[in-house]
Amino acid sequence: GFVHLDCAYSYGNEKDVGDVLEQFFKDAKLKREELFISSKLWSSFHAKDDVIKACQESISNLKVDYLDLYILHWPITIASGHNNLFCSDDVKLGYNRERIAECWRAMEDLVEKGLVKAIGTSNISITKMERLLQTARIIPAVNQVECHAYLQQEKLVQYGRSKGIAVAAYRSLGIPNPGMEMPVLLEDPVVCHIAQKHFVTPAQVLLAFGIASGLATCSHKNQE
């Protein structure tokens, strides 16, 4: 019953997803218009001329004609050829408001060219969003951020709603990265109690929490 595919260049699996989609379309199990497919512009492609190339590559890999949503993955830029934010300092270009504004203008061109239906942001703060809106022709349709019961992002969510920007929550199950000494939300006593009371899983409780909060809710790619 899920129809939203939340993809990204940096996930490294768009070709695999595209192969599955191609077969589903061929077998008439799905129509393109029945799916909402998003992808994300990686941080090494923020230069104006790189934006359209990166978008076209994702579209080609996914074997579709357009994307429903294309997201600026991070407002932080890294040097070309690097696919990991945890890289050495010499390839980190960091945040620059003029560079991001130019990148956003190139993303706006994607909408005008019909390659994407909407554009959005991810991992961007209120301050950086305010700066972006000063020059943006198209207001981001969505801002995708980490958001769950332990990190509810109330100010950011309220700000987005005041600007007409939907907030999408990732890592909704709250699972930290391996090696992080943090409480595991799926094992939280309150969450487990609610799950037992309603004969559902803790994951279902947490996803329902996000939906009830008015968020587009999805898990992290490592939580599947």
How far apart CA 69 and CA 46 sit, in angstroms, is 17
Please provide the average confidence, as pLDDT, over all residues in the chain.
Answer: 91
Better-predicted residue by pLDDT, 87 or 142: 142
End-to-end CA distance of the chain: 16
| Strand, coil or helix: 11 | helix
**pLDDT classification of 176: cutoffs 50, 70, 90:** low
Contact between residue 62 and residue 17 where contact means Cβ atoms under 8 Å apart: yes
E-strand spans in the chain?
A: 4-6, 36-41, 69-72, 77-78, 92-94, 119-122, 142-146, 166-170, 216-217
Q: What is the pLDDT of residue 180?
A: 67
**pLDDT classification of 183: cutoffs 50, 70, 90:** confident
Whether residue 57 is predicted with pLDDT greater than 80 in this model: the reply is: yes
How far apart CA 155 and CA 172 sit, in angstroms, is 17
Which range, of 77-86, 139-148, 213-222, averages the lowest pLDDT? 213-222
**Mean per-residue pLDDT for 27-52?**
95
- The number of beta carbons lying within 10 Å of the beta carbon of residue 109 is 17
Structure tokens at 143: 């801002």
Structure tokens at 117: 């239906």
Whether residue 224 is predicted with pLDDT greater than 50 in this model: the reply is: no
Sign of torsion, CA 192 209 74 45? positive
**pLDDT classification of 92: cutoffs 50, 70, 90:** confident
Greatest alpha-carbon span in the chain: 54
Summarised one tens digit per residue, pLDDT across range 3-30 is: 899 999 999 999 999 999 999 999 988 8
Reply yes or no on whether 150 is catalytic: no
Summarised one tens digit per residue, pLDDT across range 99-121 is: 999 999 999 999 999 999 999 99
**pLDDT classification of 152: cutoffs 50, 70, 90:** very high
DSSP annotation string for 85-96: SS--GGGEEE--
φ/ψ of residue 156, rounded to 5: -65, -40
User: What's the full length of the chain, in residues?
Assistant: 224
Q: What is the pLDDT of residue 115?
A: 98
State which H helix or E strand residue 23 sits in: helix 14-26
**AA identity, residue 53:** K
Q: What is the pLDDT of residue 177?
A: 63
Catalytic residue among 9, 11, 150, 170: 11
